[in-house]
Amino acid sequence: MGNRKISVFVLALVIIILDQYSKWLVRYRIPINKKIPILDKFVYLTHVANVGAAFGMLPNGRLFFILISSISIIVIIILAFKLSFNFLISFSIGLILGGISGNLIDRIFLGSVTDFIDVKFFSVFNIADSSITIGTIIILFYFLVIWKKPSK
């Protein structure tokens, strides 16, 4: 296995550790639904137990999200082993893999995902959500702007 493939899994592991540790701190230090201002009137730490998907969608979909997340992780791991990617795509895959795994751990063991980053005019989210979003944006940017289709 090449260094780039190893780095995908190392980055995913780092994201999982940061995500789980930050959520653990929030669960044990901040009461549920309590808002702690970080940047006054703009960013708060707010402990939320999210039983749905992003933005609280599908609140009764725990088993569905566990299944979809598990399938996604398996597909990403297979792709990471079978295909060769450049650094940017490998980095993005590591972010997405770590993010999906972090939220899956919460869903399996807690029944909900711990969210805590509360930005005004946006939904409460966590490090895993951020990793998935950033990884997806990088991949979209790459394929829409940077990637050149091979000429025939």
Enumerate the active-site residues. Answer: 115, 129
Contact present, 145 and 29 (Cβ < 8 Å): no
Contact present, 5 and 90 (Cβ < 8 Å): yes
Taking residue 123's Cβ as centre, other Cβ atoms within 10 Å add up to 15
Taking residue 30's Cβ as centre, other Cβ atoms within 10 Å add up to 17
What are the phi and psi torsion angles at 139 (to 5°)? -65, -45
CB-based contacts of 139, cutoff 8 Å, min separation 6: 89, 92, 96
How are strands ordered across the β-sheet holding 35-39? 35-39, 43-50, 113-119
